[in-house]
Structure 1
Amino acid sequence: MENETQKVVIIDDEPTTLLLLESAVESLAKVITVSQSVQAFECVKLHCPDLVVLDISMPEMSGFEVCKQIKACPDTASIPVIFVTSHSDIENERIALSLGAIDFISKPVDMNLCRMRVSNHLTIQSQKSMLSTINTELEAEKKHLAITLRSIADGVISINAAGDVTFINPVAQRLTGYSEKEAIGKPIDAVMNLRDASSNESLLNPALYALEILRPVAMSYNATLVSRQNKIFRVEDSASPIIDDEGRLLGAVMVFQDVSEAVEMAVKMTHVTNHDQLTGLPNRVLLHDRIVQAVSRCFTSKQSIALLLIDIDNFKYLNDSLGHQIGDFVISNIAKRLNKVVGQGGTLARVGGDEFACLLSDVGSGFSADSIAMACLQAGREPIEINGKPHRLSLSIGISLYPQDAVNAEEMMRHADSAMYRSKSLGKDTFSFFSKDLQHAMHHRVEMEIKLRHAIENNALAVFLQPKYDFDNKKVQGAESLVRMYDESGEVIGPDEFIPLAEETGLIHQLGNQVLQKSCEFVASCNEHGQPFKIAVNVAAKQLANPGFAKEVEQIIKKAGIDASSIELEVTESALMHDFEQTRDILIELTSLGVTIALDDFGTGYSSLSYLRQFPLNVLKIDRSFVIDMDTEQQAHDIVTAIVHLALSLELKIVAEGIETQSHFNGLKALGCHLGQGYFMCRPMPMNDFFTKFIDDIDVA
């Protein structure tokens, strides 16, 4: 491949010699011939050949003069020159060598000898070129490496086998406080003052340890570097021995970085991860960790620990009505009060929106759970001034003890939660200890939730119907859907056992949709038998709180293929007042479908006459609690009378529920009620039985 890249310029005024030389060299390189010596230098300068073959004796300009021109020019000075001469005297050789000649070719020219001499010098030139390229690349690599080491963001220090510094980059100079001139040759321990961040004890330098064990090592955890100016940096990284290809230990290199900011950030993040942002108290994660630690210590100390779960009563109402900013203010205020009560004797944590937890790790040694609970209740009763007005709050507290009623941290939290809800059910502003009966109730609740989910998922909810009778003709004019469940033995489970659970778990939406769907399907069956029928379906407050509820009702009715006027939705007073504007919009949307709206349990809730005019109501239902007592208590009778007169004045249809005697029936009929339902006429029954019995109207005996 050399003849493709290398060039030879041959200069001779004799055509025969020139042709002979060209023939000898052309197989080795590209040949450029020059016959006039005065043009020789320009040709050499133009082509920059790898070799010049130059005749000494030429008429216009001697070979010596051409050689001087070549060597005098910086661009061509390094080009080797071989002289062709018929002279063999020492003087000519001396002159030629003094001008920079590297070899001679004698005339007459020996072709083989000429080719060998040219070939050797071309090879030398090729090797020189390769060597030059390699040296250039090595120099560039060396510079790049030096720039990299000086530019790298980490500190880099290398040492020899004796442990003395041989290299230190600018970052390492900044961190150690030593300049390159000061550090080179010093023991690395003198340059790097490494200490333990906790104990401040000196640490073995990883580079020295790497020399000792002949493998890479990591820097000690929690290491600090004390600079020459006594600045302290948290540092970490590693060191490795430097071993050449023959296995000789040359030294070690250490790479380290300043992680002070990262450590500081980690400390902050740990605090954020384990503490509540609003109150600064430990959060649920940190509380759980401390409970686990306290439980572990109990194995040896034999002490009891207590967990108090503290909930602010009616906080959601306050937060929704006054705004989240006021809610946060209340949370912060209560947190400060509780923290003052708990003090250093326990851990107070915020574990939810309006929930706190207090861990007492040494119950019986200086304080008891009930005394702390009583103090917390008292602290919660103190009025909080909001917008210049005092607001009184209360707390509900549940207490779980270890090892008395729990075996681990998770169970303590669950039991304290159950006890707290017991306090809520007892009227709030009190505390309750977890007990065996509470545990039984909790297990029963879990079992009931499983049954409820299973019934919903398998479309196994049962819908019973209780007929509504017309007071005038004593005929069935519709019915109310009442949801039931069956247990494993086929016994009916009443709604009181699972409806509150459905509302609490959010299953009420699926439950309500399933009851409505079954009710619509029943109406469709009646229509197929030529018996138009109207069914009232109860709607929970959480269903009305769903902005898409009206759309769901519309889809269910359309799927059943019935007229919307066949469906009546019963809502309670409390459901209406949950979100006045949204509820009114949803009811208007429902009535536009053709559904009628009944107000259930009237008189037991807000009983505000103003909202009756604001909602699109069609029916008013008198609560059974008034009907049952109307024969024996004048006040109950007067209330029923007032409700009937109010409904009639508002042109609402009146339905009385809870009719259990002939006297109830007669009295309500006399007052002008339109429809009634109750055990006196008929108990609720399964849909199939109802269909069989009431497909034709039946008179009441």
Structure 2
Amino acid sequence: MLLSNRIDDTTRILLVDDEPANLMMLEEALGELGTIYCASNGNEALSMAMELSPDIVLLDIDMPDMSGLEVCQRLKNDARTVNISIIFVTSYQGDEIEVTSLANGGVDFITKPINFNTCRLRVKNQLLIQQHAKSLKQAKEELHRLVTQVPVQITYWDANWVNQFCNDYSGTWFGITAADMSAQSISEAFPVPLGEEIIRFTEQSDGLAVQFDSSYCKNGQAPKYVQISVSKSIQEDEVVGYLLTMVDITSIKLAKAELFNEKERLRITLNSIGDAVIATDIEGTITFINPIAERMTGWHARDAIGIPVEEVMNLMDASTHQKSLNPIRLALEEARIVGMAMNCQLVSQAGDAYRVEDSAAPIRDSGGNITGAIIVFHDVSEAIAMSVKMSHLANHDQLTDLPNRILLHDRLEYACKLASYTSKKVATLLIDIDHFKFINDTLGHSFGDRLIKQVAGRISQTIGPNCTLARVGGDEFLLLVPNVIQLEDIQAIACNVTNVISRPFTLGGNEYNVSVSVGVSVFPDDAKDQETIMRHADVAMYRAKKEGRNRYCFFSDELEHQLMQRHHLEKQLRETIATRSIEVFYQPKIRLADGALVGVEALARMPAEGGGYVSPLEFIPLAEETNLIVPLGQQILEKACCHAVRWKELYREVPLSVNVASAQFSESDFVQTVVEALEGSSLPAHLLELEVTETALMDDTEKAQSILSILSDKGIKVALDDFGTGYSSLSYLKKFKMDVLKIDQSFVRDMLTDNSDYDIVKTVVSLAESMALDLVAEGIETEGHVQALVALGCPVGQGYLFSKPLPLDEFEKYLQKKLEESL
């Protein structure tokens, strides 16, 4: 915990003292201020300081191997540790030793016996001083970045035009960096003509500020145009300096120069574009007509100019052939942009008809007054025909030609509104092909597409003409059934869908068996709007898959509640992983013959909202399903390795077992992850044991063999977890380099009352002996279990009889107790 919310929670404090009692008391006193690390001698302190970069070191002066003063000198002489604050702690009294300590680089001096309240306050004050210093440094850096990033050159000159400041640190403007410009005159720093012009304008101005435009050339390049602002700095009616800002306005100058050319290009463009353009004055009389408009209307420009626009543009409705109002008239009357009427047709002087579209807009002068109008239009006859086809494509799935989500939503909305008036029901059946990803990955996407089309065809043949079958995802279809009177009808349809899909499909000359899971939601029974009804169908389909696939399931409130709980748990799990808040509990492994501690298994525990912990039976399967098990397992491995190193340093070596999920084991960088965890914590490889399942090994046996060989070569042990619950094949077991077999607790728990379980345990023990494998029994709860296992020859076990999984602090107390018992 933090002593104050103003102390950074990443603070590291290194305590150095050759007396363990002093370290323990200081750690207790300062624990709230940050993470405490302890060293018992000078060499260890130097090593830890290099590795940890602590914020503060509390350093005892009188130590046998190296005095605290020498440790301090070495830290201060190393660039990596020079900024660490050092507080000397000693039993020496007197001003001389305090002066010596501070002269050697210490920031404070605490005498023994230590007043821990005073000590805590001094350490806290030093931490706050460090934080303030960091904040000031950051503010200075941010101000520097701000001044550097603005697209303006900012300079300050004294009264004699000698540079005092410049923000052009890289020399972008004039090839002179800010450092080189310092103390230069303006004639040296700027191009001479520019510098002279700045001085002249400034001196001629009677005001405190002057602004003008100028230009300069650099290295024979094109001229640069700038806007210059100079503000005089006045003290006691005298000018003591000048603040000068310079903005590049080259683009603005060039834009103005381009304006005339743009007008000419516009004229040429209007005569060259593929659209027809006609302009009129405020009375609607034509003032301009381009060649395309000439061709479509049949009027030459010389004849059309001066004619009312309606005579030149003969517009009518394409269906009724009624005369249409020209959009130019509306644009002039209503002073707005007006789109051409739908289904509009232009008939030329020669009688040719064109389907046209586009818009008219008023033309305004610089004062905003309307001076005329312009209409731009083009022939869309071919586009109209194409749009019919495009409309179909926009509303239908390209692969199956079934309605897509867009058309489905329209039909579902209409069906629900109609059902509200007729008191009937609407059913939505979400149909998902089971294991389609496996089929797609195995046979290829072309075979997957052919399967999708065949599935769509079969379902289409089973539904009535009023139903809509839509493809709403890669392997998902939604069947909309309107005007439902009895729910039994929906059940019959769902059953029919699963049956028709269960018949074999022929792909590439081979037959494949496929199944679907169907989720059913009914309006208005399950939902009052289309979005909810589709979501409920998805919930029901998810339940159908959970219950074994190849079936249909109706929605219920219980399903939605379960899904919401799952979503909430997934969100909480992601937050826990993102904040590295997952905790590691430890369950001891005990030698059954004498009760000695021979190892420990690391177990993940997820804190629950409001206190307590989420059951591993809930969050572990979810982590595996969402592939969050990979970062989760990595965090457990890293934390457990660090804890094991701590035990090694404070107590004794304790072999550590860490579970590895199938998804972790199959990661391409799995071995590298394990190696980095060992190197990052400095844990010796022989103290780490990885527990893998049979499933993880069987996903890719060749890859598994390679990984196990690499781990074995590095000295890392591997245990086969839950042995007997998976494939349980001796043929595969011989392939892999294993060190340990773990007997699953389901067999151990009932071995005293179930002969089958007893025989399984006995067989596994014999198997381990014959293969020279270590053996660990899980789930030991009674002395009877211990006696039976010892009799069978099982040497090691774990279970609630010895200890439940313990949080870190409780396990360390347990470890300390075991250490005392062994002495």
2:603 aligned with 1:482, yes or no?
yes
CA distance, structure 2, for counterparts of residue 205 and residue 346 of structure 1:
45
Any idea what the Cα deviations from partners look like across 1:622-650, whole Å, max 9, x if unmatched?
A: 32333344445554444444444444444
Larger displacement relative to structure 2 (452-461 or 349-358)? 452-461
* Counterpart for residue 560 of structure 2: 439
The residue type paired with residue 386 of structure 1 is L
Larger displacement relative to structure 2 (339-348 or 493-502)? 339-348
CA distance, structure 1, for counterparts of residue 348 and residue 596 of structure 2:
99
Larger displacement relative to structure 2 (302-311 or 257-266)? 257-266
2:503 aligned with 1:382, yes or no?
yes
1:532 to 650, 653, 675: 653
2:664 to 543, 548, 567: 543
3-state SS, counterpart of residue 625 of structure 2: helix
Instruction: Report how far residue 181 of structure 1 moved.
Output: 9.8
Please show how residues 436-515 of structure 1 align to structure 2 within 5 Å. Answer: 436-488=557-609, 490-515=611-636
The residue type paired with residue 626 of structure 1 is F
1:623 to 722, 744, 759: 744
Please show how residues 561-600 of structure 1 align to structure 2 within 5 Å. Answer: 561-600=682-721
Q: 1:636 to 1:238 in 2, by over 3 A?
A: same
Instruction: Report how far residue 498 of structure 1 moved.
Output: 1.4
Please show how residues 283-322 of structure 1 align to structure 2 within 5 Å. Answer: 283-288=404-409, 290-292=411-413, 294-295=415-416, 299-322=420-443
3-state SS, counterpart of residue 465 of structure 2: helix
Mapped contact 2:296–2:348 kept (Cα < 8 A)? yes
Q: 1:311 to 1:249 in 2, by over 3 A?
A: closer
2:794 aligned with 1:676, yes or no?
no
CA distance, structure 1, for counterparts of residue 264 and residue 571 of structure 2:
73
1:429 to 524, 537, 550: 550
1:324 to 436, 439, 445: 445
3-state SS, counterpart of residue 236 of structure 1: strand
Instruction: Report how far residue 488 of structure 1 moved.
Output: 4.5
The residue type paired with residue 449 of structure 1 is E
Mapped contact 1:475–1:697 kept (Cα < 8 A)? no
2:370 aligned with 1:255, yes or no?
no
CA distance, structure 2, for counterparts of residue 142 and residue 536 of structure 1:
79
CA distance, structure 2, for counterparts of residue 244 and residue 476 of structure 1:
94
The residue type paired with residue 360 of structure 1 is V
Structure 2 gaps of 5+ residues are: 1-261
Q: 1:693 to 1:191 in 2, by over 3 A?
A: same
3-state SS, counterpart of residue 685 of structure 1: coil
CA distance, structure 2, for counterparts of residue 243 and residue 388 of structure 1:
71
3-state SS, counterpart of residue 552 of structure 2: strand
Instruction: Report how far residue 497 of structure 1 moved.
Output: 1.5
Instruction: Report how far residue 381 of structure 1 moved.
Output: 0.9
Q: 1:263 to 1:535 in 2, by over 3 A?
A: farther
1:416 to 537, 542, 546: 537
Q: 1:449 to 1:639 in 2, by over 3 A?
A: same
Instruction: Report how far residue 373 of structure 1 moved.
Output: 1.5
Mapped contact 1:568–1:597 kept (Cα < 8 A)? yes
Mapped contact 1:476–1:698 kept (Cα < 8 A)? no
Any idea what the Cα deviations from partners look like across 1:28-76, whole Å, max 9, x if unmatched?
A: xxxxxxxxxxxxxxxxxxxxxxxxxxxxxxxxxxxxxxxxxxxxxxxxx
Mapped contact 1:210–1:241 kept (Cα < 8 A)? yes
CA distance, structure 2, for counterparts of residue 538 and residue 430 of structure 1:
35
3-state SS, counterpart of residue 481 of structure 1: strand
3-state SS, counterpart of residue 811 of structure 2: helix
Mapped contact 2:280–2:374 kept (Cα < 8 A)? yes
Q: 1:235 to 1:411 in 2, by over 3 A?
A: same
Instruction: Report how far residue 527 of structure 1 moved.
Output: 0.3
* Counterpart for residue 216 of structure 2: none
2:674 to 553, 563, 568: 553
CA distance, structure 2, for counterparts of residue 681 and residue 671 of structure 1:
19
* Counterpart for residue 512 of structure 2: 391
CA distance, structure 1, for counterparts of residue 789 and residue 596 of structure 2:
16
CA distance, structure 2, for counterparts of residue 436 and residue 391 of structure 1:
36
3-state SS, counterpart of residue 317 of structure 1: helix
1:606 to 718, 727, 751: 727
* Counterpart for residue 59 of structure 1: none
* Counterpart for residue 492 of structure 2: 371
Percentage identity across paired residues of the two chains: 46
Any idea what the Cα deviations from partners look like across 1:598-634, whole Å, max 9, x if unmatched?
A: 2222332333444434444332223233334444555
Larger displacement relative to structure 2 (415-424 or 607-616)? 607-616
CA distance, structure 1, for counterparts of residue 694 and residue 712 of structure 2:
18
CA distance, structure 2, for counterparts of residue 566 and residue 511 of structure 1:
21
Q: 1:216 to 1:411 in 2, by over 3 A?
A: closer
CA distance, structure 2, for counterparts of residue 591 and residue 177 of structure 1:
89
Please tell me the root mean square deviation across aligned C-alpha atoms, in Å.
Answer: 4.3
2:777 aligned with 1:656, yes or no?
yes
Q: 1:256 to 1:524 in 2, by over 3 A?
A: same
2:345 aligned with 1:219, yes or no?
no
Structure 1 gaps of 5+ residues are: 1-140
Any idea what the Cα deviations from partners look like across 1:536-580, whole Å, max 9, x if unmatched?
A: 222222223332333333333322221132222222222233345
Q: 1:430 to 1:146 in 2, by over 3 A?
A: closer
Mapped contact 2:651–2:819 kept (Cα < 8 A)? no
Q: 1:428 to 1:212 in 2, by over 3 A?
A: closer
The residue type paired with residue 602 of structure 1 is F
2:376 aligned with 1:279, yes or no?
no
Any idea what the Cα deviations from partners look like across 1:175-214, whole Å, max 9, x if unmatched?
A: 4567789989998667655444677755333345567778
Mapped contact 2:289–2:301 kept (Cα < 8 A)? yes
Q: Highest relative contact order (Cα 8 Å, sep 6+), 1 or 2?
A: 1
CA distance, structure 2, for counterparts of residue 559 and residue 315 of structure 1:
42
Q: 1:361 to 1:550 in 2, by over 3 A?
A: farther
Mapped contact 1:539–1:570 kept (Cα < 8 A)? yes
Mapped contact 1:394–1:428 kept (Cα < 8 A)? yes
Larger displacement relative to structure 2 (606-615 or 258-267)? 258-267
Mapped contact 2:285–2:305 kept (Cα < 8 A)? yes
The residue type paired with residue 630 of structure 2 is H
Q: 1:590 to 1:299 in 2, by over 3 A?
A: farther
1:335 to 440, 445, 456: 456
Mapped contact 1:474–1:699 kept (Cα < 8 A)? no
* Counterpart for residue 237 of structure 1: 358
Mapped contact 1:647–1:654 kept (Cα < 8 A)? yes
Q: 1:576 to 1:222 in 2, by over 3 A?
A: farther
CA distance, structure 2, for counterparts of residue 692 and residue 244 of structure 1:
88
CA distance, structure 1, for counterparts of residue 542 and residue 364 of structure 2:
71
TM-score by length of 1: 0.68
Instruction: Report how far residue 495 of structure 1 moved.
Output: 0.6
* Counterpart for residue 120 of structure 1: none
3-state SS, counterpart of residue 498 of structure 2: helix
Any idea what the Cα deviations from partners look like across 1:134-178, whole Å, max 9, x if unmatched?
A: xxxxxxx99999976543321235689998989764423544567
CA distance, structure 2, for counterparts of residue 463 and residue 532 of structure 1:
18
Q: 1:241 to 1:468 in 2, by over 3 A?
A: closer
CA distance, structure 2, for counterparts of residue 584 and residue 266 of structure 1:
59
3-state SS, counterpart of residue 485 of structure 1: strand
Any idea what the Cα deviations from partners look like across 1:568-595, whole Å, max 9, x if unmatched?
A: 2222222233345555555455445433
